[in-house]
Amino acid sequence: MGEVHHRAAHIRNLMRAAILMYALLFMTVVNASDGDAAVQRALQQAVSQPAPAQVDARAVEALSFRRDPAVSERVQQETIQAFGRNPQQVADLEKVIGSGEMLRQFDVILRRYGYDPTNLGDVLAAHLLISWEVVNDRDSARSPEGQRAVRRQLIGPLAAVPQVVGMSDAAKQAQAERTAYLTMVSALSYQTMKKQGNREALAALSAGVRKGLQGNGIDLQRVELEVGGLIAR
């Protein structure tokens, strides 16, 4: 029982740090300001209409990458240092993130959705989907077709952004894995607070996730999961 409480405590610490970092999520996809704006437009376009029945294989390929263990190690350490506020938190994060367990859990979730964890579009789609769950206290598993559709919504618009398709494999991987950690922190925090019945913490998490994506032009409280994906109301 002590281990469960200890785990819950450092997940809460992760959640607080994640809320502060959400605003940086999509801004780190590209460096140039025009690239940031293009990514925001792509996200807004994605949720403005139902997903196409299929996506162009070339668009999928343009967003795919091969994982390099050296890049994973670098992103792990960057994430641990970003979230760790003291030596004890850093040690806890080494167990959760440094072990590779958090990224493995993320991969399992993506494959359950029918997504590819080595595709930046799929990773960002999963982030939107899981964030929608957290913000609205809803379970996307009630709409498996909707889950599968979100990746089809996002891949085409993202693949049309030159600054995104021009990223190197290492850059795509680094962004995907940073996104994975932020997504898992909010998902694990949500699950923990839900089990505890901590409404105040759930409200704070929901507000933080919502605010982060509002900065990128998407209000997840105004988006509904349908057969065609996440559709703005």
Chain position carrying tokens 């999961």: 225
Query: Rounded CA gap, 13 and 3, in Å?
Result: 15
How many domains are contained in the chain?
1
Taking Cα atoms as reference points, which of 157, 170, 154 lies closest to residue 116? 154
From first to last of the 233 residues of the chain, give the pLDDT tens digit: 333 344 455 555 555 555 444 434 443 443 334 456 788 888 888 999 999 999 999 999 999 999 999 999 999 988 888 777 778 878 877 888 888 888 999 999 999 999 999 999 999 999 999 999 999 999 999 999 999 999 999 999 999 999 889 999 999 999 999 999 989 888 888 988 888 898 988 898 899 889 888 877 889 999 999 999 999 88
Please state, as a whole number, how many other Cβ atoms lie within 10 Å of the Cβ of residue 80: 19
CA-to-CA dists, residue 160 to 64, 117, 154, 166, 231, angstroms? 14, 20, 10, 10, 20
Q: Determine contact, residues 10/191, Cβ cutoff 8 Å.
A: no
Q: Give the structural domain span for 29.
A: 2-232
Query: Rounded CA gap, 52 and 46, in Å?
Result: 10
Cβ-Cβ contacts under 8 Å for 106 (sequence gap 6 or more): 117, 126, 180, 181, 183, 184
pTM of the model: 0.85
